[in-house]
Amino acid sequence: MALPALPEGGALDARSPITGGRLGGVTPATPADVDDAVGRAAEAFLHWRLEPAPKRGELVRRFGDLLRARKAEMAELVALEAGKIRSEALGEVQEMIDVCDFAVGLSRQLYGRTMATERPGHRMMEVWHPLGVCAVITSFNFPSAVWAWNAALALVCGDPVVWKPSEKAALTALACDALLHQAGAPPGMSQVVVGGPDVGERLVDHPAVALVSATGSTAMGRAVGPRVAARFGRSLLELGGNNAAIVAPSADLDQAVRGVVFAAAGTAGQRCTTLRRLIIHRSVHDELVDRLANAYQSLPVGNPLAAGTLVGPLIDRRAYDVFIDALATVDAVIGGERELAEQAPDAYYVRPALALMAEQTSLVLQETFAPILYVLAYDDWDEAVAMHNAAAHGLASSVFTSDLREAERFLSAAGSDCGIANVNVGPSGAEIGGAFGGEKETGGGRESGSDAWKAYMRRSTCTVNYSNELPLAQGVEFL
Ligand code: UN1
């Protein structure tokens, strides 16, 4: 496995999980650089907020066009830096294109309401205004799409973006930013600050940052949320999940096998929406486990850019250690071996693991960001839902069933407690049109589609009196 030579840059190493080798160097930002970036963004905001929203949408449309034209190259960079297989890397770029299209449409649909007023000769309405500088903090596993969900919406909503990508995926961030400038982003509207927690903290605490949109671990969110709240800033948190699927007796098992294997082993188990817990009715448990075991044993693991590979590498040694540590204490395991250690000693390829568990231990209930699927059995529906909802996270969830009642119960108020609930669809691979995010330790934020745009704007409730009187609300008499 050989890596391409990329231009040399700064002091921070950019590495590829494909070999563990160095791709190039990136210049890390200092705290003063972060302040400068926020200052430039605040300056750009003063102009951009006055551009009509459909004109702002033009920029995003041009950016989407460039992404279409450069889709294959961008995907190659995503594959090199994050280790995604080509089709998933192409999917990630497609997700950016899709959200650009969505945002362009949205730029003509930032609707406010008018409300019936209780006073004669008055009109009451809400108007949505640009919010201000948005800081976007992203993780390595979706090195471009998650930023695009935020940036495309923020730009049409009138906000500049300062992006702190994962240090593990800085080259992809720089490429996205370069394309956005090629599309005509005015100075200060899109900036990247590369670095570690000190860079993130500077953004989080900066009084001129109106919104901090952060994707990462619950530990990160626990640090970010209160700090932003302490200065009355706004935060949008997307903190991963411990996603489960219930497989009911009536499930179409062919569908369940395909849905489960993609959701659990796809992206080498490194999505926030990865399936981590499989709760199978005892009547179909053994058959489904056999079929999954066969599928897992034949999954092609290897260089993500090679044709036919379905499982690429883990991001780094640390991810591998977490994987091994978790597997050390499970009841029984299928798969889980390290692969290709001789050909790529500094890379970490593993066969995804099925861990058969008698009960939901504390290990099962914590998010392990690796391709381990904990498999559990259940006897009755209420027990399955209770097991499902026992995790601290609340991101994505699924039921595989042909029983209408079970499907509806899963989607009801007494069913899945997650932000995303699916029937006969795995928990990962959500489309951009829906609001993306989850409850509990997932952080409560919503990004991407539906009305997630409201997080990037401020609401002004406006009342106009066009009468010659001055009636007071609630019938109050004064003067
Ligand atoms: C993430 O893993 O951080 O639903 C985002 C999905 C993708 C996005 C995942 N559309 O799996």
Residue among 467, 420, 456 nearest 159 (CA) = 456
Q: How far is Cα 67 from Cα 69, in angstroms, rounded to an integer? A: 5
What confidence tens digit (pLDDT) does each residue in 220-279 have?
999 999 999 999 999 999 998 999 999 999 999 999 999 999 999 999 999 999 999 999
Q: pLDDT of 29-55, one tens digit each?
A: 999 999 999 999 999 999 999 999 999
pLDDT for the residue numbered 3: 67
- The pLDDT, as a whole number, for residue 479 is 87
pLDDT, residue 8, reads 64
| Whole-number Å distance between alpha carbons of 417 and 407 | 14
R_g (Cα) of the chain, nearest Å? 24
Q: How far is the CA of 123 from the centre of ligand 1 (A)?
A: 42
Burial of 317-347, coded b for 16+ CB within 10 Å and e otherwise, reads eebbeebeebbeebeeebbbeebbeeebeeb
CA–CA gap between residue 427 and residue 271 (Å, rounded): 10
Tokens of 110: 């930032």
Q: Write the residue with the smallest CA distance to atom 6 of ligand 1.
A: 429
Quote the tokens at residue 235.
């935060």
Cα of 371 to ligand 1 centre, how many Å? Answer: 15
pLDDT in tens, 435-473: 999 999 999 999 999 999 999 999 999 999 999 999 999
Query: Does the CB atom of residue 429 touch ligand 1 within 6 A?
Result: yes
Q: Mean of the pLDDT values across residues 371-381? A: 98
Backbone torsions φ then ψ of 140, nearest 5 degrees: -70, -25
CA distance readout (Å), 104 to 51, 54, 218, 241? 14, 7, 32, 30
| pLDDT tens digit sequence for 74-108 | 999 999 999 999 999 999 999 999 999 999 999 99
DSSP sequence for 315-351: SSHHHHHHHHHHHTTSSEEEE--EESTTT-TTSBEE-
Instruction: Answer whether 452 contacts ligand 1 (Cβ < 6 A).
Output: no
How far from 114 is each of 126, 225, 298, 464, CA to CA, in Å? Answer: 6, 33, 59, 11
82 lines ligand 1 (CB under 6 A): no
Known catalytic residues are: 238, 272
* CB of 150 sitting under 6 A from ligand 1: no
Number of C-beta neighbours around residue 404 at 10 A = 10
Q: Please report, in angstroms and rounded to a whole number, the separation of the first and last CA atoms in the chain.
A: 84
Does any ligand 1 atom lie closer than 6 A to the CB of residue 395? Answer: no
How far does the centroid of ligand 1 lie from the alpha carbon of residue 95, in Å? 10
The CA distance from 373 to 356, in Å, is 8
Q: At what angle do helices 53-69 and 145-157 cross, to 10 degrees?
A: 150
- Residue 177, pLDDT score: 98
Measured CA to CA, the distance from residue 203 to residue 140 in angstroms comes to 18
pTM of the model: 0.96
Which residue among 271, 395, 420 has the greatest number of ligand 1 atoms within 8 angstroms of its CB, and so is best to mutate?
271
Whole-Å CA distances, 426 to 118, 228, 264, 451: 48, 34, 9, 23
Spatial distance between the Cα atoms of 158 and 392, rounded to a whole number of angstroms: 35
Distance 429 CA to ligand 1 centre (A): 6
Count of residues for the chain? 479
Helix (H, G, I), strand (E, B) or coil at 177: helix
Question: Whose CA is closest to atom 1 on ligand 1?
Answer: 272
Q: What is the pLDDT of residue 7?
A: 58
Locus of tokens 């009636």? 471
Q: Are 217 and 427 in contact (CB under 8 A)?
A: no
Cα of 468 from ligand 1 centre, angstroms: 55
Residue 6 predicted with pLDDT over 80: no
Q: Looking at residue 4, what is its pLDDT?
A: 66
CB 154 within 8 A of CB 13: no
Residue 2 has pLDDT above 90, yes or no: no
Residue 148 has pLDDT above 70, yes or no: yes
Average pLDDT, the chain: 97
122's tokens: 């008055």
How far apart (Å, rounded) are the C-alpha atoms in residues 459 and 451? 13
CA distance 366 to 257: 24
**pLDDT tens, 325-349?**
999 999 899 999 999 999 999 999 9
